[in-house]
Structure 1
Amino acid sequence: MTSISLAEYKKLYCGDRKSTSKRKSKVKGEKIVSKGEAALIQQLKALKIEFVQEFKFHTSRKWRADFHIKNTKLLIEVEGGIWSGGRHTRGKGYLGDMEKYNAATMMGFQVLRFSTEQVTSGFAINQIEGLVKG
């Protein structure tokens, strides 16, 4: 696996962060699909990779994964707000994510986490396809 510097990563995957709009909040309990999730849905469908959105993987907690690849133990998370100080990068949210991802791993799931930029660039789907069809 090749490593890259943070500067190279930002250049490849971040683009112009100022042009991204804020994510809308839930409307009457309905989840608003993020730009990254919408892109991944289209990419998975194009490759005929079956998936479940908002997959509840834990029996006693309300934890859900953004995507579960059917007939596998693979969970996909599209992490939003990583550059804007969103929930995933603040203390409480970060700790909650660690607990959730560790629980999923202890239950036998593989958890892949991608930024919106990694999804829209095609990086994420290439890795997912490599695991699923590899």
Structure 2
Amino acid sequence: MSAAEELLNAHFCFHKVEPVREYRFGAEAAGGPGKGLRDRLARAGLKDWRFDFAFPAQKLAVEVEGGAWAGGRHTTGAGFSEDLKKYDAAMRLGWTVYRCDPGMVRSGRAIETALMLLKLSEGEVHEQA
């Protein structure tokens, strides 16, 4: 876990919000981890992608995009393209994906937005009930 992810996790804890860390949304969409996962992922056109933070009941994912200033994998052409495929698959499965960077985590902007999105999602659930 990166320093920014650790900090965002601390923010979630402070606000008594408990995300699932490293949530395997691709595996879950393909029937869950276990025997035959690779075949099920291939048939579904998915990979064993993970979210940094996930709220499965609300289908909200929070991704901390690190490495932009350090030349990480996410900044290469292939890495960026793979990330786009991951986010596309997630959105096709009904997920909202909030992306932030370490500066947004440090400033408090990321936790503010994540909490806002959780409240919006909660409101939609209550309105539908």
> 2:55 & 2:92 partners in 1: Cα distance?
18
User: Who is 2:62 aligned against?
Assistant: 76
User: Who is 1:43 aligned against?
Assistant: 11
Q: Say yes or no: does 1:103 pair with 2:89.
A: yes
Q: What are structure 1's unaligned runs of at least 5 residues?
A: 1-32
TM-score (norm 1): 0.73
State the 1:133 CA deviation.
2.5
Correspondences of 1:1-134 after superposition (within 5 Å): 33-58=1-26, 59=30, 60=41, 61-134=47-120
Higher relative contact order structure (alpha carbons within 8 Å, sequence separation ≥ 6)? 2
Question: In percent, how many aligned pairs have the same letter?
Answer: 41
**What is the CA RMSD across the aligned residues, in angstroms?**
1.1
Q: What are structure 2's unaligned runs of at least 5 residues?
A: 31-40, 42-46, 121-129
TM-score (norm 2): 0.75
Distance 1:49 1:70, change over 3 A: farther
State the 1:70 CA deviation.
4.5
State the 1:77 CA deviation.
0.5
Task: Give, as a single letter, the amino acid of the residue that structure 2 aligns with 1:35.
Answer: A
Does the aligned pair in 2 maintain the 1:49–1:69 contact within 8 Å? no
> 1:74 & 1:133 partners in 2: Cα distance?
11
Q: Show CA shifts across 1:2-46 (max 9, x none).
A: xxxxxxxxxxxxxxxxxxxxxxxxxxxxxxx10110001100011
Moved more, 116-125 or 62-71: 62-71
Moved more, 91-100 or 59-68: 59-68
